[in-house]
């Protein structure tokens, strides 16, 4: 099997397992049931994810990132403000998994286990990095890391809020999107704080001319 075919095969397996995760958890049982739904032998799931269920979780995150980027590519992100681009990224990432919300809850429970802490951090960082790239960020200095770190906190807290949000009668989550907007506003305030401090200091302190000779 070529690398491309293996990638597609893994995509199909993690997608097929989602209907079983609410009952079996993020386990081999759910993955093997998904494989059987596709007409494969149960053992095929273990061969596809020889690294275990942690590897399956990581692949699910990568698959979700690719789906998110495909949806974002169809949007006019360039015509949006930065805050609206980030809002669109996070909203898209969550909304596309709304039908499998209970499976997402069980996945988070699996990733919350102590042995998966490092994997969860890497997955979150990678997703937030993809969001920033989609939003047009190509920074390579310290801003690259600070932006992703701040977005990781926004993204993580929004996921937790979304998990307990029952949504409206149309299957949307307006309360979650409002929460997301407030968290983005908090981040923007953080970025603008140094500029505001500098402006206030400028009003309090007299301008300094480095070329002026000090008075005797």
The pLDDT tens digits for 132-180 are 999 999 888 888 998 999 999 999 999 999 999 998 888 899 999 999 9
Say which DSSP state 184 is in: H
Tokens 């790239």 -> residue: 133
Interatomic CA distance for residues 18 and 174, integer angstroms: 25
pLDDT digits over 107-133, tens only? 999 999 999 989 999 999 999 999 999
Q: How far apart are CA 209 and CA 91, in angstroms?
A: 49
- Which residue is listed with tokens 């979650």? 176
Cα distances from 143 to residues 3, 114, 129, 146, 165, in angstroms, run 34, 30, 12, 5, 32
Q: What's the CA gap between 57 and 212, in Å, rounded? A: 64
pLDDT in tens, 21-39: 999 999 999 999 999 999 9
Which residues make Cβ contacts (< 8 Å) with residue 138, sequence separation at least 6?
none
- Paired tokens of 190: 């953080």
Average pLDDT, the chain: 88
- Residue 140: predicted pLDDT: 85
Q: Which residues contact 22 (CB under 8 A, 6 or more apart)?
A: 102, 103, 106
The answer on pLDDT for 200 being more than 90 is no
DSSP single-letter state for residue 204 = H
Alpha-carbon span 180 to 159, nearest angstrom? 9
Alpha-carbon separation of residue 141 from 103, 134, 144, 147, 181 (angstroms): 37, 18, 6, 11, 26
pLDDT attached to residue 72? 97
């Amino acid at each position: 099997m070529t690398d491309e075919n293996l990638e597609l095969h893994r995509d199909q397996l993690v997608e097929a397992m989602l209907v079983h995760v609410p009952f079996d958890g993020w386990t081999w049982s759910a993955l093997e049931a998904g494989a059987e739904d596709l007409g494969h032998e149960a053992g095929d799931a273990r061969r596809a994810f020889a690294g275990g269920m942690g590897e399956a979780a990581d692949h699910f995150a990568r698959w979700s990132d690719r789906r998110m980027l495909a949806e974002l590519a169809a949007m006019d992100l360039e015509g949006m403000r930065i805050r609206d681009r980030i809002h669109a990224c996070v909203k898209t990432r969550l909304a596309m998994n709304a039908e499998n919300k209970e499976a997402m809850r069980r996945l988070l429970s699996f990733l919350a286990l102590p042995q998966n802490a490092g994997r969860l951090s890497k997955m979150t960082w990678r997703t937030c990095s993809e969001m920033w790239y989609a939003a047009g960020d190509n920074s390579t200095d310290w801003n690259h890391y600070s932006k992703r770190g701040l977005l990781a906190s926004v993204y993580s807290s929004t996921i937790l809020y979304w998990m307990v949000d029952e949504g409206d009668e149309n299957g949307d989550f307006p309360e979650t999107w409002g929460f997301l907007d407030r968290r983005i506003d908090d981040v923007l305030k953080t970025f603008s704080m140094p500029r505001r401090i500098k402006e206030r200091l400028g009003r309090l302190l007299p301008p300094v001319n480095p070329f002026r000779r000090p008075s005797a």
